Amino acid sequence: MAEEKRLAVVTGAARGIGRAIVMELLKQGRIVAGLDLNAEQLKELEKVAADAGYSVVTKCVDITKTDKLNEVMEELSKEYNGIGILVNNAGITRDRLMMQMSDDEYDILMNVNLRAAFMATRAALRPMLRNKFGRIISISSIAGIMGQAGSANYAASKAGLIGMTKSVVREVAKKGITANCVAPGFILTDMTNVLPDMVKEAAMAIIPAKKLGTPEDVAKAVAFLASDDSGYINGQVLQVDGGMAM
């Protein structure tokens, strides 16, 4: 199948980094299906894509509901002759010091950030194995590499993505499938825009590039790892952080 005709599925697609990834993949001429829990934001994504001259497939789904996720993934695979690319982007935060963190605040991070990515990857692997091609890209974080005070749940989930990714490579690399992580640093999104200036300034002080990243910076890294040009890159963590965690 021609590279641009392979279906790319992006979770957490409606805004921020997810939306940027969708748009970058559309610019490459790919068929893109965006999954998200927020129906209104998915409609906004459709409009943004249409205004740019593209068409995106959207599916409103809670990816923590495994049965529904499997159903959507199977439907997409049947309609588009498999899933060529999976981008595990969906993620949330519930920051709190570990001593104050509730069980629920830990569990929900694991369910959304890690468990759902595992389930989506498992669902995508069958058509990838059948077609002897696949690109799996999971959005980790430098928090999963270097830790982050007040975010033990988030850091644990993002570190878990790295371990899962490397294990997938051990199992399926010989079948023409790659699995890699992109680890963003401090990226300007709705989530970070609301942070106090002092927090942004503290981050800037330890970034050698002396600037904050954009969703598009992350999206371009994902697009490269999704391409045929990245076929011999496997089990890696590509840090998009301006040198913050080097």
Length of the chain: 246
The DSSP code for 53 is: T
Contact between residue 1 and residue 202 where contact means Cβ atoms under 8 Å apart = no
**Element of type H or E holding 240:** strand 237-240
Determine the 3-state secondary structure of 15 from DSSP: coil
- Is 154 tagged catalytic? yes
The DSSP code for 111 is: I
Determine the 3-state secondary structure of 27 from DSSP: helix
Q: Which of 54, 80, 154, 232 is catalytic?
A: 154
Residue 105 buriedness (CB in 10 A; 0-12 / 13-18 / 19+): middle
- Where helices occur in the chain by DSSP H, the ranges are 16-27, 39-51, 66-79, 103-109, 116-131, 143-146, 152-172, 190-193, 197-205, 215-226
Q: What residues act catalytically? A: 154
